[in-house]
């Protein structure tokens, strides 16, 4: 028999960009598996974590089962992962920070789940629905000012439709009203901080210096706050930083492709492998793309986030270990193998399971 048992104390680390969802994704499976958890939530967005933990307390969760901390991130992570009491580390954030935490966790052989950065491609084939692709890309890319690891960042369009697709995407981007979140007309809000603005400047400048064309956007909006407009770059040189470094902002690159082989090669031409998307109504193209795209999740004819009932994991530099589904639950359990006589097995199987 297999007798699942809680693995022990969990240390969960979450970023600021989707504070309610990401905190819930750390808390729920750990608690369902029977593990107490120490949640280190983001200092930039503390309220969501506080309200969730308060709701759990009001619901009657025992004291000490859910613990919430804020403070100096390196100090907290070194303290938690330096303790043998912590048996699992679950982290969502950037690849460099994830690697640092994994090194610390190795000292106590703590199990790790790392959901790290992404550089997601979207491939639009000639038989794909251009209008649907443009709408889905612009909505999913710019809803959080591009500050999402699953957001698309590199668009590849079949050469026969490239100019039409590019024109429509630019129009869609220019229709987005950038402004403060409390304005009901706002379609895209600000970036998180000045560092992200400087990153957008650097990536855009590097691409332009290598020959890229700014189709729209490309300069900081002259108003108080960290506002950068939806930016679309074409004719981007393959060595440009924006094609290899996760932009984590409202920058999209668009390029044509001639063959499916070229599309696959360019879609896979990064160190990241979190999500990938493509638009095609051909069953043969769909089968080949599913087999060929190097990503933990592939979406066909739409762009979608991560569902809680399905296992999801990045590959390559986008991390390892599963979140969601039964596989994600098992991360927080030891699967104890029990060998027994048939009589004992029948007697105790239901209770143990």
Catalytic residues: 115, 149
Mapped onto helix, strand or coil, the DSSP state of residue 141 is helix
CA distances, 222 to each of 47, 179, 214, 219 (Å): 30, 12, 18, 9
181/283 Cα distance (integer angstroms) = 41
Q: Rg (Cα) of the chain, in Å, rounded?
A: 22
From the CB of residue 59, how many other CB atoms can be counted at a distance below 10 Å? 7
Mapped onto helix, strand or coil, the DSSP state of residue 95 is helix
Tell me the HSE value of 48 on the side-chain side, using a 13 A CA sphere.
Answer: 19
The gap between the terminal CA atoms of the chain, to the nearest Å, is 9
Q: Any idea which residue has 């969601």 for tokens?
A: 324
Of residues 42, 39, 44, 52, the one with CA closest to residue 15:
42
48/27 Cα distance (integer angstroms) = 13
């Amino acid at each position: 028999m297999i007798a699942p048992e809680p693995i022990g104390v969990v240390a969960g680390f979450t970023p600021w960009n989707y504070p309610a969802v990401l905190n819930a994704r750390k808390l729920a499976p750990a608690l369902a598996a029977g593990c107490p958890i120490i949640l280190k939530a983001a200092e930039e967005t503390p309220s969501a974590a506080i309200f969730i933990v308060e709701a759990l307390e009001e619901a009657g969760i025992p004291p000490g089962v859910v613990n919430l901390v804020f403070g100096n991130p390196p100090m907290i992570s070194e303290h938690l992962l330096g303790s043998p009491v912590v048996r699992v580390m679950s982290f969502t954030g950037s690849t460099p920070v994830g690697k640092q935490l994994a090194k610390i966790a190795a000292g106590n052989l703590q199990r790790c789940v790392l959901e790290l950065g992404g550089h997601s491609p979207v491939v639009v084939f000639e038989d794909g629905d251009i209008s649907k692709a443009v709408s889905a890309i612009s909505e999913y890319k710019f809803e959080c000012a591009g500050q999402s690891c699953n957001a698309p960042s590199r668009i590849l369009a079949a050469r026969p439709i490239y100019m039409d697709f590019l024109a429509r995407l630019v129009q869609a981007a220019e229709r987005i009203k950038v402004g403060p979140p409390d304005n009901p007309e706002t379609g895209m809000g600000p970036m998180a901080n000045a560092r992200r603005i400087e990153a957008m400047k650097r990536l855009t400048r590097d691409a332009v210096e290598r020959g890229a064309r700014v189709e729209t956007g490309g300069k900081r909006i002259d108003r108080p706050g960290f506002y950068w407009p939806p930016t679309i770059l074409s004719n981007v040189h393959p060595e440009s930083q924006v094609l290899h470094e996760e932009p984590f902002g409202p920058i999209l690159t668009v390029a044509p492709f001639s063959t499916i082989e070229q599309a696959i090669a360019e879609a896979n031409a990064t160190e990241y492998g979190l999500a990938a998307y493509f638009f095609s109504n051909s069953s043969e193209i769909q089968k080949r793309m599913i087999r060929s795209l190097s990503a933990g999740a592939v979406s066909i004819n739409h762009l979608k986030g991560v569902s809680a009932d399905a296992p999801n994991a990045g590959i390559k530099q986008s991390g390892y270990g599963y979140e969601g589904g039964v596989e994600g639950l098992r991360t927080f359990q030891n699967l104890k193998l029990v060998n027994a006589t048939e009589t004992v097995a029948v007697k105790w199987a239901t209770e143990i399971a």
